[in-house]
Amino acid sequence: MNRRNFIQNIAVAPALGVLSENKKIIKPKRLSPGDTIGLVCPAAPAYSKETVQVMVESMQALGLKVKFGKNVWKRYGYLAGTDEERASDLNEMFADKTIKGILCVHGGWGCARLLPYLDYQMIKQNPKVLIGYSDITALLLGIYSQTGLVTFHGPEGAATWNEFTVNHFKSILMNAEKVTYENPKIVGDNLTITKDRISTIVSGKAQGRMLGGNLTVLCHLMGSKYIPDFKDSIFFCEDVDEPPYSMDRMITHLKLCGVLNDMRGFVFGKCSSCEVGNGGYGSLTLEDIWEDHIKPIQKPSFTGAMIGHISHKFTIPIGIEAEINADLGTIQFLESAVE
């Protein structure tokens, strides 16, 4: 293979995911009061007993029981045990017939290290809810791409289980509703809405499979077999603590991989603590980056959705058909995500 052909193959390969559009997705069973939820630490270990206790009480308030993975409190540097130990917790939770759903305690780093150790055939035969965000993106996309199992980008165990987050969690995972997500419109004592505003990049509506997650983690999966095919998708992403130049670099990466051309629509959530720095030579803003990379593609796109490292968040099913309205900033799911 000559150098030109090699480079062309490298450029195309990341856009070729494992799960084709025609491959049948698998929906897990809905969660019901009395079900047992498995709590696992696939990345960083649990640090605070009080935080874990709040997590347990929150699940109990939802009518759910909890069972901990064996290595939740184990520590191997910044990880909750070795890769094999953390993967075994996840495999055991999927294999355990008494467990109806799996909730990740929190993220950190380390989930991508588990992907070669997961038993995908067993997971496919024992479908159940798996939910988390941030570093958990690696598991959500990896398992979906390898099995077709719908996974869920949503609150982790250590999240703030406020009314907004709980209502969206229950509507998707317990009530099996085909919901329409819309940001809160709270004016308060202001003249107009100042918080959680939607910003339209390109007007219009688009339909497709919801695919995405944390932008940094997703970008580091590109080129592997653990990334799905983004053709005809509604691509969503979010991030935290990333300066504009880093966001620019990652969106450029996705553009070069063909993701932006393949998608039907784009939803950006929140980029927490991603403000322009104090560099002496100035900086692009996130708005500039959307103008440079997203607007020229002319596909329905908007920013500001309640997705990300925030206290009030949506639960987003990965692999489910949805329609976005970029002018209204809404996400309407066209089918239920659980059986």
Annotated catalytic residues are 134, 238, 309
Pair of tokens at residue 217: 């983690």
Provide the CA 64 distance to its chain's centre, in angstroms.
23
Using H for helix, E for strand and C for coil, what is the string for 85-134? Answer: HHHHHHHHHHHCCCEEEEEECCCCCCHHHHHHHCCHHHHHHCCCEEEECH
Q: What is the three-state SS of 306-328? A: CCCCCCCCCCEEECCEEEEECCC
Interatomic CA distance for residues 200 and 211, integer angstroms: 20
Q: Are strands 265-272 and 321-325 parallel, antiparallel or unpaired?
A: unpaired
What's the CA gap between 290 and 301, in Å, rounded? Answer: 9
3-state SS, residue 268 = strand
Helices 244-257, 286-293: inter-axial angle, 10-degree rounding: 20
